[in-house]
Amino acid sequence: MTGPPNQPPSREPVRVLVLGGGLIGLAIAHQLARRGRRVQVLSRRRSEAAGFVAAGMLAPHAEGLGGAMLALGQASLARIPAWVKQIEADSGLACGLRPCGIVVPFRSSAERDAYPTAAWGEPLGRASLEREVPGIGPSWQAGLLFSQDGQIDNRRQLMRALERACVGMGVSFQEGDEVLALERSGDGALAGVRLRTAAGEEQGLPAEQAVLACGAWSARLLGELPVFPVKGQMLSLQAPRQALQRVIFGPGTYLVPRTDGLLVVGATSEPEAGFSEGLSPAGQRQLQEGLEALLPEAASWPPMERWWGFRPCTPDQGPLLGESGIPGLWLATGHHRNGVLLAAITAQLLAGVISGSAKAENKALLEPWGLGRFQS
């Protein structure tokens, strides 16, 4: 069908491939689609993505981030309420955002006062710590309450809402297709990808633009990326409803209470494990000991689920965002343990630069996270 007389026919927008169907990939696909781009998501197995296994903390202050990483985390935290509202409107589903505040416990007030982000928190003594976290272990004598931090139920709500929002915006999905290689044109620009379909057939898929959001597997497609897996094991318990109101972020262990009483306990950090799958007795014992130290009564609550996943890490534990060095290919990977926190800012920044609508302040937020910082 042609357009009205004396008007050129409308051009279909250039398609963008999103390589990876985890939280970061879905968030970017959604934002690109909202900007009128045609988007196709390629995913080998979305259930293995870090977004499905993370606890969902929104904790730039509780995690003690600093410098450019703190600035990026704070910028994302500020955007999350509006981002979530947008996803909920597009999907008709709740995302499970809960601004419940996070308590970081310490063994002494000196440790508390030396924490990198102490200036953003409310100092707690033992008595006020017990009021915020009834039943907290006896070894914790001080704390910081970061009321601006919180959580989102990424596993059960956010990922599902994002998928539905993407479908509603016209995003297409190819689940079970493994991207084997990037293909380039004669001048070095992106020409497409080589993939193996769910039926086992190899084929090429042309594309002028793509976003590499393969998480811990990103370096398999672009070998110069300094991205490696850090395995994490987690478990969940069924707590009495309202037993815990705040997230507890302890050293090596954190407790994240959902509104229905589910308590998520995480997480080990195992860079030496590579991509080895499965639970380990040592990892589960570490979680149990951390749980007992933070909240002794929780040791008797019924276990519900145990799982593991792979965080995409870089040498400085910061993400890789922006240009890849290959014209047409963009990077959105390496988020380590802050993928849920940084999903909103990552999606908005990447969608902005890809669509050519990025504001100057957003370009400034991207600047520290380019691949060049590892190549000098």
Tell me the three state secondary structure of residue 294.
helix
Q: Per the domain annotation, does 208 fall within a domain?
A: yes
- Going through 242-358 in order, the beta strands assigned E by DSSP cover 247-249, 254-257, 262-266, 303-313, 320-323, 329-333
The pTM of the full predicted model, rounded to 2 decimals, is 0.94
Residue 119 preceded by cis peptide, ω within 30: no
Segments forming the whole domain that contains residue 183: 15-95+155-227+316-374
What is the CATH number for 185?
A: 3.50.50.60
Query: Are 35 and 161 in a shared domain?
Result: yes
Query: Are 75 and 134 in a shared domain?
Result: no
Q: Per the domain annotation, does 2 fall within a domain?
A: no
Q: Per the domain annotation, does 282 fall within a domain?
A: yes
What is the CATH number for 108?
A: 3.30.9.10
Please state the domain count of the chain. Answer: 2
Query: Are 208 and 262 in a shared domain?
Result: no
Pairwise CA distance, residues 372 & 350, whole Å: 17
Domain end (from 258, 284, 311): 311
Over its length of 376 residues, how does the chain's per-residue pLDDT go in tens digits? 444 445 444 455 679 999 999 999 999 999 999 999 999 999 987 666 666 678 999 999 999 999 999 999 999 999 999 999 999 999 999 999 999 999 999 999 999 999 999 999 999 999 999 999 999 999 999 999 999 999 999 999 999 999 999 999 999 999 899 999 999 999 999 999 999 998 999 999 999 999 999 999 999 999 999 999 999 999 999 999 889 999 999 999 999 999 999 999 999 999 999 999 999 999 999 999 999 999 999 999 999 999 999 999 999 999 999 999 999 999 999 999 999 999 999 999 999 999 988 787 888 899 999 999 998 6
3-class SS shares of the chain: helix, strand, coil, % to 5:
35, 25, 35
Query: Are 187 and 286 in a shared domain?
Result: no
